[in-house]
Amino acid sequence: MDEITSKLIDLALREDIGPGDVTSGYFVPERRMARGLVVVKEDGVLAGVETAAEVFRRVDEKTEVHMMLESGSHVSAPAYVLEVRGRSRALLTAERVALNFLQRLSGVATQTRAFVKRVEGTGVRILDTRKTTPGWRALEKAAVVAGGGMNHRMGLYDRAMVKDNHLVSEGGLEALQEAITLLKKEKPGVRVELEADRLEQVRDFLTLDGVDFLLLDNMDLDILREAVAMRGDGGPLLEASGGVNLDTVAGIAATGVDFISVGALTHSARALDLSLEFLEDEE
């Protein structure tokens, strides 16, 4: 588990427990033992199973956790994800935080899978964006992969993505080429993507060396098809973005672009319905 996720679990538990779980502390006998199952109540794709399991262990290292399904599993309700055994107090204290991680991340994976299914057979890959919950990026991007999607850049450090706000008009294409050449020399592992919102920009950017991707932003289907034809068999890979939803994504894929980026995978995913059900007390 990466350091950020580990710290996030600790933060979430401190946020929820504070100085102590007064409900469990006063209303649940200290020695009572229990067995519980995390149950999925609707069809979907799981993600964050390992994180939820770690929450139960983090509250009480003596809790036994059995992962019955893995992240990336397609489930039909009802389905059992985790089995937990241990002190009732510990299970109840961990319950909400564990479910919060699991339902949120499974929602992202399920949303991603819905988009992926709409473009099956086209060869187009569905990408996420940086529109993630602060601190949750690694988890949410892993959930996208669990749903069959593909990660775009992780942050500002692993891909240069040049948008209108980055461009300095005085230098024009010559200054842009100089910047690309310098970046490729000093950071050869970093790929370069340029954003275009009109065909004239596409035409200009295709004359530059060292461009790995063109982002075709908010173009209608006819313009996307023209951009694909303009690129031809060689040149940068093409990514479409803007106005993408489950009703439009198939049409965009049919234009011949290579990728479609969808901010909604992470910023608008609905949590999957899950619960923890106690089966019996154990002595």
Residues with active-site annotation: 96, 131, 163, 195, 217
Radius of gyration, CA atoms only, the chain: 23
Q: Is 69:109 a contact under the CB 8 Å cutoff?
A: no
How many residues would you count in the chain? 283
Q: Is 131 left (phi over 0), alpha (psi -120 to 50) or beta?
A: beta
Segment holding 229, helix H or strand E: helix 221-231
Question: 124 with 253: CB under 8 angstroms?
Answer: yes
Q: Among 43, 45, 42, 64, which residue's Cα sits nearest to residue 53?
A: 64
CA-to-CA separations, 8 to 117, 119, 161, 267, in angstroms, rounded:
32, 34, 28, 19
Residue 69, Ramachandran bin (φ over 0: left; ψ between -120 and 50: alpha; else beta): beta
Q: Is 241 helix (H, G, I), strand (E, B) or coil?
A: strand
